[in-house]
Amino acid sequence: MKKLLITRRLPDANLAAARARYDVTLREADRGLTPQEAAAALCDYDAILPTLGDQFMADAFKGDVRCGVLANFGVGYNHIDVRAAKAAGVAVSNTPDVVTDATADIGLTLILSTCRRAGEGERLVRAGAWTGWHPTQMLGTHVTGKTVGIVGMGRIGQAVARRCHFGFDMPVIYYNRSPKDVDVPARQVDTLDALMRQADIIVVTVPGGGSNTHLIDAAALAAMKPTGIFVNIARGDVVDEAALISALQSGQIAGAGLDVFEREPLVPEALRAMENVVVLPHLGTAALEIREAMGQMALDNIIAWDKGHPLPQAV
């Protein structure tokens, strides 16, 4: 029976399915593997089911690698050096598609919560400080009809676009590094700067790492309208967090909704202190049926590798 390492606790259904087929070791730690732990795991296990936070960087693959597959739990895999993995003979997969709608839903949650000041309003009520309705209380941004600008028009970007267009009658514009035809009414713009200047609400959905690191920098944020709302459901490193904090504190932009952060789980106190910022603990795929589907997809890739078949979701 092959040895499988699962680096973080998964839903019970996934653990049962894995244990029925493999000799499973389950880490109970509430943090990802360090580079040293990742290197050791690659030498000790036949297969690994890692996730966000596990640091499978290039140096981890320099030892006597036993592992044949890294079946990542999650669509983002910037915590894995895929080139180094393949050079060491380690196949890599992820879990696209099953996360699309859940992540897009969180994008709309953040748009609505930030624009309509929902988090601030809930805190007011919970503090017992609400004095009753009046005509100018907590006036926010009306969402219907506003122009949404989407950075990265992949599966999740298109799912956000559909919700915005069909649900809220929002004109959709998008920036994508390559030309992209989509099945929702939307207009591609040539540059990120043009997108940031034209949209009322910006939603970032690009993969993390590589050339996308700090794609949203001080210059990009400076191009936004002072009434602009910024939403990130991608990866934290896509945004220069210090520049975002500065833009919010100076009033350069009106607000932000964030599900991801540059140094998770660290969330800067400056972001937590601002009433015009909605912060969520990386809830993008946090629904049981979605997490179970992700776990089964990762396991299916391990089983395919075990049988000598191509990985269905190879990266």
pLDDT value of position 209: 87
Phi, psi (deg, nearest 5) at residue 48:
-135, 135
Residue 311 lies in a domain: no
Q: Is 254 within 8 Å of 277 (Cβ atoms)?
A: no
Residue 313 lies in a domain: no
> Which tokens go with 46?
């036949």
How sure is the predictor about 276, in pLDDT bands with cuts at 50, 70 and 90?
Answer: very high
Residue 238 lies in a domain: yes
pLDDT value of position 152: 97
Check whether residue 133 and residue 193 sit in a common domain: yes
Residue 314 lies in a domain: no
211/178 Cα distance (integer angstroms) = 14
Mean pLDDT value across residues 265-290: 97
25/19 Cα distance (integer angstroms) = 9
Beta strands 3-6; 47-49: pairing state: parallel
194/232 Cα distance (integer angstroms) = 18
Which domain, by its residues, includes 152? 100-279
Check whether residue 291 and residue 250 sit in a common domain: no
Check whether residue 117 and residue 62 sit in a common domain: no
Residue 251 lies in a domain: yes
Q: Is 212 within 8 Å of 232 (Cβ atoms)?
A: no
Check whether residue 40 and residue 185 sit in a common domain: no
Check whether residue 117 and residue 148 sit in a common domain: yes
Residue 130 lies in a domain: yes
Using one digit for the tens of pLDDT, what is the confidence trace for 90-133? 999 999 999 999 999 999 999 999 999 999 999 999 999 999 99
Check whether residue 44 and residue 66 sit in a common domain: yes
pLDDT value of position 252: 98
What DSSP character marks residue 285? T
pTM greater than 0.75? yes
Mean pLDDT value across residues 249-274: 97
Check whether residue 77 and residue 109 sit in a common domain: no
Residue 312 lies in a domain: no
Check whether residue 206 and residue 262 sit in a common domain: yes
Handedness of CA 236, 241, 245, 247 (dihedral sign): negative
Check whether residue 137 and residue 32 sit in a common domain: no
The number of folded domains in the chain is: 2
Check whether residue 167 and residue 89 sit in a common domain: no
| Termini Cα distance of the chain | 26
Check whether residue 42 and residue 114 sit in a common domain: no
232/230 Cα distance (integer angstroms) = 7
Active site residues: 235, 264, 282
Q: Is 187 within 8 Å of 173 (Cβ atoms)?
A: yes
Phi, psi (deg, nearest 5) at residue 163:
-65, -40
Using one digit for the tens of pLDDT, what is the confidence trace for 139-189? 999 999 999 999 999 999 999 999 999 999 999 999 999 999 999 999 999
Residue 26 lies in a domain: yes
CATH of residue 69's domain is 3.40.50.720
Check whether residue 200 and residue 170 sit in a common domain: yes
